[in-house]
Amino acid sequence: MRYQNYELKITNYELKKRIFYWSVVFCGLLGLFLSGSRTVWGILIILLITNYELRITNWKKTLGTILIFGGLVVLIFSLISNNYRIVDFVGGWDSEGMVKRGGLMVASLKMIKDHLLFGVGAGNFLVRLPEYQQNSGVFWLQPVHNIIILMTVEYGLVGFLMMMKFSIFNFQFSIKKKNNLIVLGIILITGMVDHYWLTLPQNWWLMCVVLSLI
């Protein structure tokens, strides 16, 4: 009797653990979808394909899981769409986004040319941006959507090289592990098309937690 109670407790614990795990996965996937970031969507799909392609032994079970999650997502958005537009919840896509990003890139390269060694100063990209967009025909008060360019603009070539040396010194052993390399790769790839890893407080906090675990 005592053994049966112990076995029942283990079963309940494993069930709660699985429910918690899949709840976290579902909330994470839902958050990624609502972000509206096509880059993040693409990276997620690639990671799922490469990570699970060789591990899947029961395709029927896997397909069933995918259909269940897909059905839940469709159900949630069906309920939402009764009173709200889905587009109000998904990150907006600017039809002129590429032109604006191109304008920011041109302005950034001009700043680098004028302040090559020491940059314009930390946090001064937006302060100096209007000077470099006066005659461009495009004005968009946003940081350049590339963390490498943004760091070079603000800290200059000297500061950028110092940060690269610091990063290589600290993570040269961490990248030998596959999972750590994937995490750093995601930060780098998403940083190539946006600026939030350097400009948003929540991304700073997330990056601090992630890098401390690595």
Percentage of residues in the chain having pLDDT higher than 90: 8
| Cβ within 8 Å of residue 173, ≥6 positions away | none
Count CB neighbours of 189 within 10 A. Answer: 14
Q: How does pLDDT run across 64-94, given as a tens digit for each residue?
A: 666 776 676 666 666 655 555 555 554 455 5
Structural contact between residues 41 and 90, judged by C-beta atoms closer than 8 angstroms: no
C-alpha 139, offset from chain centre? 26
Q: How does pLDDT run across 32-61, given as a tens digit for each residue?
A: 777 666 667 777 777 666 666 555 555 566
Does the pLDDT at position 13 exceed 80? no
Does the pLDDT at position 63 exceed 70? no
Highest mean pLDDT among 6-10, 66-70, 105-109, 170-174: 105-109
Read off the pTM.
0.65
Give per-residue burial for 10-36: e unless 16+ CB within 10 Å, then b. Answer: eeeeeeeeeeeeeeeeeeeeeeebeee
CA distance 97 to 139: 12
Question: What's residue 186's pLDDT?
Answer: 80
Structural contact between residues 38 and 94, judged by C-beta atoms closer than 8 angstroms: no
